[in-house]
Structure 1
Amino acid sequence: MTILDRAKAPTPKFFKVLRTIGLVIAAVGGTLLTAPISLPATVVTVGGYLAVAGGVMSAVSQVAKEDSPKD
């Protein structure tokens, strides 16, 4: 099974929720990184980590698939 086949396969409900949470975390991180005001360096660093963590969480959740019952 290729990665494209896994991405097209049905995703379990838990991972759909996890994917949505990951997208929200990535959006918050992106907002912190592109804020129009100057923020402390630690806040910008945390924003970068949030963006990466949210992206990874969403990507991993997208390729999770339901197993078919074995006969």
Structure 2
Amino acid sequence: MNVIKRAKAPTPKFFKVLRNIGLVLAAVGGTILAAPVALPVAIVSIGGYIAVAGGVISAVSQLTSTKDAIQ
């Protein structure tokens, strides 16, 4: 199964919830990075890590499919 078919295949409920959590983390990280006020460097660094982690969680969760959908 290629990546496009896998992305279009149905996603299990657990991974849908995990994908949504990843999207929220990415949004929070992006908000921290784009804050209009000056934030300490440590907080901005943590925001970057949160954004990347949220993106990875969302991408991996989206590409997860059931065994039935693969066949």
Q: TM-score range by the shorter chain?
A: over 0.9
Q: Which runs of 5+ in 2 are unaligned?
A: none
Q: Does 1:55 align with 2:55?
A: yes
Q: Which runs of 5+ in 1 are unaligned?
A: none
Letter in 1 for 2:48: G
- Offset at residue 7 of structure 1 (A): 0.1
Counting matched residue pairs gives: 69
Give the TM-score of the pair, scaled to structure 2.
0.95
Matches within 5 A, 1:31-70: 31-68=31-68
Letter in 2 for 1:26: A
Aligned to 1:28: 28
Letter in 1 for 2:13: K
Structure 1 stretches of at least 4 aligned residues deviating more than 2 Å after TM superposition: none
Letter in 2 for 1:34: A
Aligned identity (percent) is 66
Over the aligned positions, Cα root-mean-square deviation in angstroms equals 1.1
